Amino acid sequence: MEEKQGVVKDVRLRVSADLHLSRELRGDEVEKVAEYAVSSFPSIFSRGALKDEEPRINELTVSGEKLSITVESGRRVRAHEAVKRARKALSEELGPKMGLGVRGISVKSFEVTFIGDCLREVKLPFAKKVEKIKEGMKYWLDVNESDLYSQVPDRIISLFLEKQEEHAAAREVHKIVWRSSEKPVKYAADPGPLLDEEGWVKRFYPGIWYYLQPYANLLRILENMIVEKVAKPLGFQEVVLPKLIPLEVAKKKGHLAGIPSEMLYVCEPGSREVSYFEDYTDLVKVLNEPRPEVLKQFLKEPVFTLPYAQCEPFYELFAGETLNLDNPPVKLYDRSGFSFRHEAGGLRSLERLTAFTRIEIVYLGRPEDVAETRDRLIENYLSILDKTLDMEVRSAEVTPVWMAHAGVVKDVSRNVSATFDIEAYLPFRGDRESEWLEIANASVHYDKYVDWFNIKERKGREVWTGCSGNGLERWVYAFLARHGFNVENWPVEVKRLWASYKPPIMDT
């Protein structure tokens, strides 16, 4: 039976806090402060709230050097916002009259009740207790004054709402929009093991391989085809994008919130002085072991990730900049290195890797230009795969991978489809209904990255971005799964380009 999706109908908050005054109250000042709070806070709290949804004071007492208040609210003007408003009002009203201010806020209790049907208990940061109740789910948060002003409670609430929709969002949309004709099976073996046996590759480390001369030659042939027949005809120009991604950029891209378990991280040495590492180097010399558990004591906390999608620096290139859409669209591609992934689905032959070569194609411009560019990329991919490389392929509209990477669970209401995958049939697996391998994709991001990276346009016009990724190892894998290792059975153009390859003479 399919699990029902949780539906949140309402959110209720109850916050108890002490507002610490700048000095002890004297004489009738206690009464004056209490009178001001009782008479003024309700109208101050109600600004921006819907009728009958205003934050409500449940308790209020004044004594000594503090005002204690408990506020209950719905989701529009939230209880913790009311507490912040109370602090500001006290300082602005009583400061000039009584020389009184508020030194700080102590949050004694912060309760969030999610009201709805079929709500799932989920992990939330800062949650010290959770209880399933008749109306839904109730969380007690451990937050402080700094968290209130940093909107931490609001993001926790948003996170709960997202997690309730995760299961529905995780069921990937996969709609076939085009497929080539069925092609006769000419090779029926898995090329993965044979690549190793034939000396085309050699494993270096799990998920990381040596690409020896024949493999490298075929990989470069296919790489150049993508550049010359897909990217350049559309006006793309080559760049080299950085391969160390600062954590702040990874955060903007959404990776730290969406896929932190799938990235590889980089730490700097704790010091540039050789003497700083003396204890570690001595231990390595004596034990003759790398001892990573000791090494990490001499490293700083992670400051970079290795590129997961290779396009991360592209958006940062324009971060905070003001663009002019009267200029042509920006069209760039990068094929300068590896992308790195701690694959959630596990490693598999030369198909799913930790380090893989990639051509990343990125574009930015007017919405109509970005959408057209994406569509023409898809057309060019399908053309060379079907006609030049004689491979059985299809394209499918799918759940946008960039949304999954960023932890975004709601689809975007647009007339333009977000992402198309290019998939190749793997004959050795048999079933044409399911045995396809994604080898490329092309996406439209709408204005999401423009918003997240604070990219502006001089006349306020809407700017979109897009990207297209190619895992070159998957192109090679799918090509060999179709055509095998006998060069005479390869497509004409690949044979022509292969003709200049001279196998190395290697003594064994």
Catalytic machinery residues? 311, 341, 343, 352, 360, 421, 438, 441, 467, 474
Beta-carbon-side half-sphere exposure of residue 139 (alpha carbons within 13 Å): 22
Q: Is the dihedral of CA 37, 39, 42, 43 positive or negative?
A: negative
Cross-strand pairs, 135 = none
- Nearest 5°: the CA angle 504, 505, 507 is 135
Q: Is the dihedral of CA 283, 284, 286, 287 positive or negative?
A: positive
Report residue 320: phi and psi, to 5°: 75, 0
Tokens describing residue 441 = 């994709």
367 three-class SS:
helix
- Element at 80 (helix H, strand E): helix 79-98
- Element at 265 (helix H, strand E): strand 265-269
464 three-class SS:
strand
Task: Centre a 10 Å sphere on the Cβ of residue 323 and count the other Cβ atoms it contains.
Answer: 18
d(CA 112, CA 137): 8
Q: CB-based contacts of 24: which residues, under 8 Å, 6+ apart?
A: 64, 65
Q: Judge whether 61 and 68 are in contact, CB under 8 Å.
A: yes
d(CA 81, CA 101): 18
CB-count exposure of residue 252 (10 Å: 0-12, 13-18, 19+)? buried
CA-nearest of 397, 398, 402, 399 to 314 is 402
